Structure 1
Amino acid sequence: MHASTGPSTTPRVAELDALRGIAALAVVLTHYLDRYDELHGHVTDPLFYLPWGDRGVQLFFVISGFVIFMTLQRARHPMDFIVSRFSRLYPGYWAAIIVTTLTVHALDVAYYQRPMQDVVLNFTMLQKLSFIPADDIEGAYWTLYVELWFYAGMLALFTLGLLRHIEAFLLLGLSASLAWWAGEEWGGAGFWGWNLTTTFGLVFNQIPFFVIGIGLYRIYMQERPRMALLIILAALACITVLHPLEYVGAALVAIGAFALVLTGRAGFLRQPVLIWLGAISYSLYLVHNFAGRALILRLQEDAGWSANVSIAAALVASLIVATVLTYLVERPAQRVIRLAYAHWRGRFNRKQPAITEAQ
């Protein structure tokens, strides 16, 4: 792999963690304020609504595009990347499955309960594959499935030594998204076959956001920045076709936020509370939804609490649980797995670990 002409190192960017925290909080509030109202209705109206907060998911995808390409630039072997991503995603995810399952059963909210077979299959993170017919035990897990396919595609390019042609593959990905949309739009739902639709439909719709993240990284590292800018514009055009206007707005907000971060103008994001939110954002995203809504429902219907107090209680509970999972499960497990892998490869060095801390 050719040496970059940009910065020689890409240290962890605290502002990106802060953006993650903001995006996670926006998703949580939307699920509690808007999505919950759609599904169950509030006994009393909440103080406010946040109708587009769930577009924070698209900010996650842009960040993933940036960070995953950066991670691959650092990796020496395909297994480096696999272990990095496994240790980052799975331990916290498994703990969150257990917490969510126990909580919705303890609160006795049947709407959010899933059969044990589905719970077990969720541990694979592949429950949306057409040959593994299982419901997500937490509604937010669909995004992890999309991320896994993105990781698989990028790993394949890395393994085959094709990352040097990344622009061509990004354009190919955007073309595939448009082709998928055209088939569904003009050929009707299920045009590509229900098995393919079940397996890949969600993935193709989100490809442009990952593309934007990779383009932003290329600009940051001064790797063919003009071509990267053109690809970002192509991704924005693709989003206008695939999605409602609010998704375009989310992409523009993400690009604007990255512009501030990467040009050193986002120092205002280095607030302790935002850094903390960023640190726990993954666990918060994993545990807040069904368990939090179930708690809100019980507090309203059984305890007679108002919507505002119930939502605040669920938010505090989710933040506490996410903090515990982050610092007692997610991060310790990540360290153990990465150190074990480094030792296995026989190249562990405390000053220069085999896998640098991923974003």
Structure 2
Amino acid sequence: MTTTTLPRPLPPRAPGDPSSARRPALPALTGLRAVAAVWVVLFHYRDDLLALQPALAPLDTFMRGGYLGVDLFFALSGFILAYTYADAMAAFSWRGSRDFVRNRFARVWPVHVVTLHVDLALAALVGTLGVTEGGHRRTADAYVANLGMVHHWVSDRPSFNAPAWSISAEWFAYLLAPLLFLLVGRVRRAGTALFLAGLSYGAMLLVFATMALPNGNLEGMFYVRILGEFVGGVMLCLAWVRGRARLGRLALVLPLALVVVALVPAVAHGRYWMAPVLGLGIAGLAASSGWLVQLLSRPALVAAGEASFALYMVHLLIEPAVHAGRVWAEGNARLSALVVVAFVAVLAVLSWLVLTTVERPARRWLTRRSRSRRPDEDGSAPVPGAAVQPVVGDHRLVRA
């Protein structure tokens, strides 16, 4: 196994520094995206998978905690964007803010709008336009809101491609990010950044503990979850950068957290208590060079991480076919195995096709006028102070 170099960030530089040096890449965080996306898929398809393969029953608790993949992604988004932008945007610039928002739009909107129209076509075909008995909205106003990625701002009910609720939440965070980076870019002490990360997560958990519905969600308060975890990820990144990789000892927090979720149903049953632990695990992973970093940095996992956004956005579009396959094959071991293999293969092919034919080409086209260099998908980017950087890939996830 090859040795991975410790990803130690360069010291912060003043905004406007023309240095063209690049921060070290973080391929392990791209690999982590694949893990989080698959966790979300397992969460949504757990009933079908258990019906088709009862031998997977020991994984039921782990799959039921898969909604936490969204929380992992929200924190990861804040962490990587802070790694790329926080110091470079510590001084306000209209041009820099404009380019940041444009690049984030280019990152999420093309895949979102394509899957929106696929869902619309499928709904028209099977007759599920309008509002379903469960409250799923495929209406004209929901369509317009989806085009602007503000659909979750105006209604908590799912609309069209259901996982895209988190795109709306992330878009909210992206629009606030230039102001956030302006406020936090001058944090120079790791201890201060850790305190602010704890404060962000603590405020989120306090609101959930006192105001959540019985199902664990907040009505009309989507911003609590995204901001608590996005800001938490930003501050954990700054704690790492300012503390010079001292968080590396926390790398094992992440796999241990997943084990706890798998073994203790009460830890993650519709609640978010594990979210801060997952955030700490991200920081520990970024600061480490151990076996877990080497594993997540392997080419296959990095490639899967690059396709994780596409996977997330397409996985529920095939839900009717999976349900039909379950009805057809349930009780027959060979047919059930065939359906599961086909399910995995179709998702893999669809994800890669969306990545290569929609996500990457559209992002290049929408950002073609940018004068800055594009960061790598694994998180490498010009050091703070370089010109505006279009940013690393990140992730979107699901609702509990």
| Aligned partner of 2:294 among 259, 264, 267 | 267
CA, structure 1 residues 84+203, in 2 after alignment: closer, same or farther (shift >3 Å)?
Answer: same
User: Are residues 1:218 and 2:238 paired?
Assistant: yes
CA, structure 1 residues 250+182, in 2 after alignment: closer, same or farther (shift >3 Å)?
Answer: closer
Q: Deviations over 1:91-110 (max 9, x none)?
A: 11111212333345556678
CA, structure 1 residues 262+175, in 2 after alignment: closer, same or farther (shift >3 Å)?
Answer: closer
CA, structure 1 residues 126+47, in 2 after alignment: closer, same or farther (shift >3 Å)?
Answer: farther
CA, structure 1 residues 92+172, in 2 after alignment: closer, same or farther (shift >3 Å)?
Answer: same
* 1:282 aligned partner: 309
Q: Deviations over 1:243-283 (max 9, x none)?
A: x6334345424523541332222112122321121011001
Deviation at 1:152, TM superposition (A): 2.7
Report the AA paired with residue 148 of structure 1: W
Report the AA paired with residue 260 of structure 1: L
Q: Deviations over 1:150-199 (max 9, x none)?
A: 2233222346x6632595976775575366447626xx99xxxxxxx654
Where 2:273 maps in the other structure, the secondary structure is: helix
Q: Deviations over 1:13-32 (max 9, x none)?
A: 21111000111011112211
Deviation at 1:60, TM superposition (A): 0.5
Q: Deviations over 1:203-259 (max 9, x none)?
A: 213444324322331132126999xxxxxxxxxxxxxxxxx6334345424523541
Kept in 2, the 8 Å contact 1:15–1:270? The answer is yes
Report the AA paired with residue 326 of structure 2: Q
Measured in 1, the distance between the counterparts of 2:374 and 2:298 equals 29
Aligned pairs, how many? 321
Measured in 1, the distance between the counterparts of 2:285 and 2:25 equals 16
Q: Deviations over 1:16-58 (max 9, x none)?
A: 1100011101111221114x68xxx95x554423222231111
TM-score where L is the length of structure 2:
0.66
Measured in 2, the distance between the counterparts of 1:263 and 1:89 equals 29
Kept in 2, the 8 Å contact 1:118–1:135? The answer is no
Report the AA paired with residue 138 of structure 2: R
Measured in 2, the distance between the counterparts of 1:101 and 1:336 equals 25
CA, structure 1 residues 149+173, in 2 after alignment: closer, same or farther (shift >3 Å)?
Answer: farther
Kept in 2, the 8 Å contact 1:95–1:325? The answer is no
* 1:127 aligned partner: 151
Measured in 2, the distance between the counterparts of 1:125 and 1:151 equals 12
* 1:299 aligned partner: 325
User: Are residues 1:71 and 2:84 paired?
Assistant: yes
Measured in 1, the distance between the counterparts of 2:117 and 2:139 equals 13
User: Which segment is superposed worse, 88-97 or 262-271?
Assistant: 262-271
* 2:366 aligned partner: 337
| Aligned partner of 2:281 among 256, 280, 283 | 256
Measured in 1, the distance between the counterparts of 2:142 and 2:202 equals 34
* 1:25 aligned partner: 38
Report the AA paired with residue 284 of structure 1: L
Measured in 2, the distance between the counterparts of 1:133 and 1:59 equals 21
Where 1:4 maps in the other structure, the secondary structure is: coil
Structure having greater relative contact order (Cα 8 Å, sep ≥ 6): 2
| Aligned partner of 1:149 among 154, 169, 172 | 172
Measured in 1, the distance between the counterparts of 2:26 and 2:374 equals 21
Q: Deviations over 1:113-165 (max 9, x none)?
A: 834543343222211223x6874212222222222222233222346x66325
CA, structure 1 residues 297+155, in 2 after alignment: closer, same or farther (shift >3 Å)?
Answer: same
Where 2:367 maps in the other structure, the secondary structure is: helix
Question: Identity of counterpart residues, as a percentage?
Answer: 23
User: Which segment is superposed worse, 71-80 or 107-116?
Assistant: 107-116
Measured in 1, the distance between the counterparts of 2:173 and 2:137 equals 29
Measured in 1, the distance between the counterparts of 2:322 and 2:391 equals 36
Report the AA paired with residue 219 of structure 1: A
Measured in 1, the distance between the counterparts of 2:176 and 2:199 equals 12
Measured in 2, the distance between the counterparts of 1:20 and 1:296 equals 24
Report the AA paired with residue 174 of structure 2: Y
Kept in 2, the 8 Å contact 1:128–1:198? The answer is no
Where 1:149 maps in the other structure, the secondary structure is: helix
* 1:163 aligned partner: 185
* 2:392 aligned partner: 358
Deviation at 1:61, TM superposition (A): 1.2
- List aligned pairs for 1:33-52, cutoff 5 A: 33-34=46-47, 42=51, 44=52, 46-48=54-56, 49=60, 50-52=63-65
User: Which ranges of structure 1 fall in alignment gaps of 5 or more residues?
Assistant: 190-196, 227-243
Task: Give the superposed CA RMSD.
Answer: 4.0
TM-score where L is the length of structure 1:
0.73
Measured in 2, the distance between the counterparts of 1:301 and 1:182 equals 39
- List aligned pairs for 1:101-116, cutoff 5 A: 101-103=120-122, 105-106=124-125, 114-116=138-140
